[in-house]
RNA sequence: GCAUGGGUGGCAGAGUAGCUAUGCAGCGGACUGCAAAUCCGCGGACCUGGGUGCAAAUCCCGGCCUGUGCUCCA
């Protein structure tokens, strides 16, 4: 089954055919680092992390570029408020981004270009747009003139120029600036007081929001590239603007072969937003659960769907994750990884998993397959079937680990188990002594005393479970 | 208003025509002094009105509801 992905421009799932055989160039719009990253950023990063992992697994050589918009109104405002340099604000939030992404097992992109390091390329692109007759200089900057390429309007949103004119309810009728037309958008903003700025043929200023991505994708991926991604909230105006800029500058279309967009996050049925008070940063979430539990939660729905996020969902994911990790760890401590290719069960799990991923990266279908292999592994552990245990952990390592990114390194898992065993042996004598007392109490049907001992153990963090072959205990 | 997605059991969420999705929760059972864990089993859904088909959650038409975008936003 070949890979199909949903392309926003054609509004259908299309079979993926790269421009260059065996290679993929993918550009993903990254964050504006004006505050610590929130779970919407996490969802986006995770979606594209898995997309890139799957493309690589499928044999493509992938060049993955994600940018940082490290100059912007909000960054400047915060810097002025704190009386520090704007780059300090950007850098501290970029550091935060890298840190939390790494905790969630997000593989780094191949490059992270920044606006402030791309100024010459941006200027030359604007220059080209002016000489092509697509942009004009005015009193407060340089603007792209939509009327110079009206046929390009609405390729992603399906809207036409007329629709926007009629439908916007008067909100956008005034230009309020040096624009010729309210639909035009800024390529270069002339510097105001107390603003960082760069020299340009049009005076001191800074780039408009959209031009950076056109310039950076051109620089890193060339005049045509395969995939452009980002959050669905960027479709308009940001990605529409990119189409105008890139295609008019380069004189060909399409520059981007496939546009893909991830869905937003809802919290308790409402859009997550600061004003509603239902806002989660990534650090909020990972103070409650393990970062990989958060990862599990955010990839549990296909990337295009809005995802429901709340405490219940987090807890649910946490249970699933614990089940995966503990079963995998058990298997890992029993034997080495072997090959899963000779196991009928695992081979069919492979087919289901791959079909799901090839159908527009359906991680939900993939996770169902992981769950079924976890169940299978438990059975094999029960039956002491070393060959299948070995094959199953290998399968999980490849798919749950390698593709979905849900497993920490084996050494970490084994070290955890080892640590837990040490902690257990440190209290073993004490626990066994109490369990003996409990046994005596139970033998004489002194249930009150037996339960009292079990409660004491609970308070020590020891969980006791009676099994047919005697009590089993573990640490919380 | 315009555009673009979506409406599946208590919850999350697959499924583009015929065969149990799955997980959590619930119920019943096994095992238990009890509890927990585990295992087995069960029930329960396809927004609505038409249409096409031997057969529709799945295709077509209408209606209703809803998310998102139209302003900075992953």
For every residue of A400-423, DSSP letters joined together read IIIIT-----HHHHHHHHHHHHHH
CA closest to B38 C1', residue: A467
CA–C1' A369–B46 (A) = 23
CA–C1' A357–B56 (A) = 27
CA–C1' A312–B25 (A) = 11
Distance CA A429, CA A246 (A): 71
pLDDT digits (tens, 9 = 90+) for A293-337: 999 999 988 999 888 888 888 888 888 898 899 899 999 999 999
Question: Given phi > 0 = left and psi -120 to 50 = alpha, else beta, which region is A158?
Answer: left
Residue A105: how many CB atoms within 10 A of its CB?
18
CA–C1' A348–B38 (A) = 26
Q: Per-residue confidence of chain A (476 residues) as pLDDT tens digits?
A: 689 999 999 888 889 999 999 999 999 999 999 999 999 999 999 999 999 999 999 999 999 999 999 999 899 999 999 999 999 999 999 999 999 999 999 999 999 999 999 999 999 999 999 999 999 999 889 999 988 998 888 889 888 776 665 444 434 444 456 788 888 899 999 998 888 999 999 999 999 989 999 999 999 999 999 999 999 989 988 999 999 999 999 999 899 999 999 998 888 667 787 766 678 899 999 998 999 999 999 998 899 988 888 888 888 888 889 889 989 999 999 999 999 999 989 999 999 999 999 999 999 999 999 999 999 998 898 888 999 999 999 999 999 999 999 999 999 999 999 999 999 999 999 999 999 999 999 988 999 999 999 999 988 889 898 887 788 888 87
Over its C-alpha atoms, chain A yields an Rg (Å, rounded) of 28
Residue A246 near residue A214, CB atoms below 8 Å: yes
Distance CA A30, CA A114 (A): 10
CA–C1' A170–B70 (A) = 12
DSSP type of residue A229: E
CA–C1' A167–B66 (A) = 21
Q: Closest nucleotide (CA of A273 to C1')?
A: B73
CA closest to B5 C1', residue: A305
CA–C1' A423–B67 (A) = 49
Domain chopping of chain A, boundaries: 4-262, 267-408, 420-475
Residue A203 near residue A124, CB atoms below 8 Å: no
**CA within 13 Å, CB half, A37:** 26
Please indicate whether the domains covering A4-262 and A267-408 agree at the CATH topology level.
Answer: no
**Omega into A265 within 30° of 0, i.e. cis?**
no
Q: Closest nucleotide (CA of A157 to C1')?
A: B3
CA–C1' A36–B5 (A) = 29
Q: Closest nucleotide (CA of A369 to C1')?
A: B22
DSSP type of residue A151: G
pLDDT digits (tens, 9 = 90+) for A419-448: 999 999 999 999 999 999 999 999 889 999
Residue A296 near residue A317, CB atoms below 8 Å: yes
CA–C1' A375–B26 (A) = 22
DSSP type of residue A196: -
- Classify the C-alpha dihedral A179-A185-A188-A194 as positive or negative: positive
Q: Which residues pair with A38 in a beta bridge?
A: A281
Q: Closest nucleotide (CA of A182 to C1')?
A: B71
Nucleotides of B under 7 A from a protein CB: 1-5, 11-15, 21-24, 31-39, 67-74
**Omega into A162 within 30° of 0, i.e. cis?**
no
Distance CA A314, CA A305 (A): 17
Name the helix (H) or strand (E) containing A265: strand A265-267
Q: Closest nucleotide (CA of A8 to C1')?
A: B4
Enumerate residues 6+ apart whose C-beta is below 8 A from A194: A76, A80
Distance CA A185, CA A237 (A): 9
Task: Give one DSSP letter per residue of A315-368, joined into a string.
Answer: HHHHHHHHHHHHHHHHHHHH-----STT-HHHHHHHHHHHHHHHBT--HHHHHH
CA closest to B70 C1', residue: A168
Give the angle subtended at the CA of A302 by the CAs of A296 and A306, to the nearest 5°. 95
Q: Closest nucleotide (CA of A261 to C1')?
A: B74
Name the helix (H) or strand (E) containing A456: helix A447-459
Q: Of A209, A222, A227, which is closest to residue A115 (Cα–Cα)?
A: A209
Q: Closest nucleotide (CA of A362 to C1')?
A: B14
pLDDT digits (tens, 9 = 90+) for A111-153: 999 999 999 999 999 999 999 999 999 988 999 998 899 888 8
Q: A267-408, superfamily in CATH?
A: Isoleucyl-tRNA Synthetase; Domain 1 (1.10.730.10)
Name the helix (H) or strand (E) containing A228: strand A225-231
**Tokens 């709340």 -> residue:** A310
Tokens for A369? 């397959």
Please check whether the domain covering A4-262 is classified as CATH 3.40.50.620.
yes
């Amino acid at each position: 089954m070949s890979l199909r992905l949903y392309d926003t421009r054609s509004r259908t799932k299309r079979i993926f055919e790269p421009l260059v055989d065996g290679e993929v160039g993918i550009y993903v719009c990254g964050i504006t680092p004006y505050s610590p990253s929130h779970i919407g950023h996490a969802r986006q990063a995770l979606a594209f992390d898995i997309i890139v992992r799957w493309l690589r697994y499928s044999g493509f050589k992938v060049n993955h570029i994600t940018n940082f918009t490290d100059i912007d109104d909000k960054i400047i405002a915060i810097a002025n408020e704190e009386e520090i340099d704007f780059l300090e604000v950007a850098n501290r939030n970029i550091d935060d981004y890298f840190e939390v992404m790494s905790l969630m097992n997000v593989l780094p992109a191949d490059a992270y270009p920044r606006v402030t390091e791309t100024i010459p390329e941006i200027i030359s692109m604007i220059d080209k747009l002016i000489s092509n007759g697509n942009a004009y200089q005015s009193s407060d900057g340089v603007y792209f003139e939509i009327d110079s390429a009206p046929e390009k309007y609405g390729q992603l949103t399906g809207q036409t120029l007329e629709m926007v004119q009629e439908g916007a309810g008067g909100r956008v009728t005034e230009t309020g600036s040096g624009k010729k037309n309210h639909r035009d958008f800024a390529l270069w903003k002339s510097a105001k007081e107390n603003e960082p700025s760069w020299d340009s043929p049009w005076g001191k200023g800074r780039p408009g929001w959209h031009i950076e991505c056109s310039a950076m994708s051109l620089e890193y991926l060339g005049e045509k590239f395969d995939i452009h991604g980002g959050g669905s909230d960027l479709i308009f105006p940001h990605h529409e603007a990119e189409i105008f800029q890139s295609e008019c500058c380069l004189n060909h279309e399409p520059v981007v072969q496939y546009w893909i967009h991830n869905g937003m996050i809802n919290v308790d049925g409402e859009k997550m937003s600061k004003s509603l008070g239902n806002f989660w940063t990534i650090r909020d979430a990972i103070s409650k659960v393990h970062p990989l539990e958060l990862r599990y939660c955010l990839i549990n729905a296909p990337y295009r769907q809005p995802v429901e996020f709340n405490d219940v969902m987090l807890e649910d994911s946490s249970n699933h994750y614990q089940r995966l990790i503990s079963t995998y760890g058990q298997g890992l401590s029993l034997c080495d990884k072997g090959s899963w290719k000779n196991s009928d069960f695992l081979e069919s799990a492979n087919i289901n998993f791959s079909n799901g991923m090839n159908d527009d990266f359906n991680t939900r279908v993939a996770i169902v397959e992981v769950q079924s292999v976890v169940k299978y592994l438990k059975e094999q552990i029960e039956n002491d079937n070393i060959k299948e245990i070995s094959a199953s952990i290998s399968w999980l390592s490849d798919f749950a680990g390698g593709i979905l990114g849900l497993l920490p390194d084996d050494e970490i898992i084994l070290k955890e188990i080892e640590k837990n065993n040490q902690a257990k042996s440190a209290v073993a004598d004490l626990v066994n002594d109490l369990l003996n007392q409990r046994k005596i109490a139970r033998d004489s049907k002194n249930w009150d005393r037996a339960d009292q001992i079990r409660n004491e153990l609970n308070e020590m963090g020891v969980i006791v479970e009676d099994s047919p072959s005697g009590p089993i205990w573990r640490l919380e």
